[in-house]
């Protein structure tokens, strides 16, 4: 099953102390969703290059990493 732009945009993550910066994660996922909206193929390099800062209160890294792993598996 191929991930859709809508699924990327609707991804939700638990929050925790010292998690990934939500702005970084949201911006990266929006860029991926926009690429999918344009009908472009998601490349493994698009996903491998993702890096997120951390914040005192941020997204739970395990949740984000699991979603990124799903994107990585579907990328070419």
* Chain segment 24-70, per-residue pLDDT in tens: 999 999 999 999 999 999 999 999 999 999 999 999 999 999 999 99
Position 76 confidence tier, pLDDT thresholds 50, 70, 90:
confident
Nearest to 60 by CA among 27, 16, 28, 25: 16
pLDDT for the residue 60: 98
Can you give the pTM of this predicted structure? 0.92
Residue 1 has pLDDT above 80, yes or no: no
How would you class 14 by CB atoms within 10 Å of its CB: exposed for 0-12, middle for 13-18, buried for 19 or more?
exposed
Of residues 72 and 2, the one with the higher pLDDT is 72
């Amino acid at each position: 099953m191929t991930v859709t732009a809508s699924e990327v945009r609707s991804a939700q993550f638990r929050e925790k102390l010292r998690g990934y910066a939500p702005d970084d994660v949201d911006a990266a996922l929006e860029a991926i969703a926009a690429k999918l909206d344009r009908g472009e193929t998601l490349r493994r390099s698009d996903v491998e290059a993702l890096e997120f800062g951390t914040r005192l209160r941020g997204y739970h890294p395990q949740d984000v990493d699991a979603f990124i792993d799903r994107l990585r598996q579907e990328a070419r």
